[in-house]
Amino acid sequence: MRHNPAVFAILVGGSIAGALDITYAIVFSGFRGVPAIRVLQSVASGLLGSAAYESGPATAALGLFLHFFIAFSAAAIFYIASRRFHLLTRQAVISGVIYGAAVYAVMNLIVLPLSAYPRRVTFPPLVLATGLLVHMFFIGLPIALAVRRASGQPRQVSGQ
């Protein structure tokens, strides 16, 4: 049975990126004493503002849905761009890392400030460094590799 390369790339890339990112967020926040439900509610707060923290598991579920919607959207954007710019799949590793950094910048400098997120976005060094690395290697890279796989592009071998 043949699969649709766009669906494969978006579902696989978005699922892996979304799972890795939310796992990081929950574990990293857990070390600082923030429960997982609060992490998921903070995602929902981008849509609902402070009210997201008052509705319990329902807004946590909304936050999880929104988180994966964003991950699938990021994968779809990369897939669409890769149809026009083949370098994105020919050099998937470097493209993915750069794309992850771009996703981090867009989310933190554009999306969050324009959303209903109730706190001012700040960049303490540890949060900036880990967030950037996570976006590069847990979001951008899996998306780019899934898109490359879906496109049938061969792996890049060192020295070629």
Does the residue 110 lie in any domain? yes
Q: In the chain, where does DSSP find H-type helix?
A: 5-31, 36-48, 57-84, 87-90, 92-106, 112-114, 125-134, 141-151
Residue 107, domain extent:
5-151
Residue 159 lies in a domain: no
For the stretch 99-137, pLDDT in tens is 999 999 999 999 999 999 999 999 999 999 999 999 999
Number of structural domains in the chain: 1
* Backbone torsions φ then ψ of 121, nearest 5 degrees: -80, 125
Phi, psi of 92 (to 5 degrees): -60, -40
pLDDT tens-digit profile of 26-44?
999 999 999 999 999 999 9
Grade residue 2 by pLDDT with cuts at 50, 70 and 90.
low
pLDDT in tens, 42-59: 999 999 999 999 999 999
Is residue 156 assigned to a domain?
no
Q: Is 160 part of a structural domain of the chain?
A: no
Query: Does pLDDT of 1 surpass 50?
Result: no
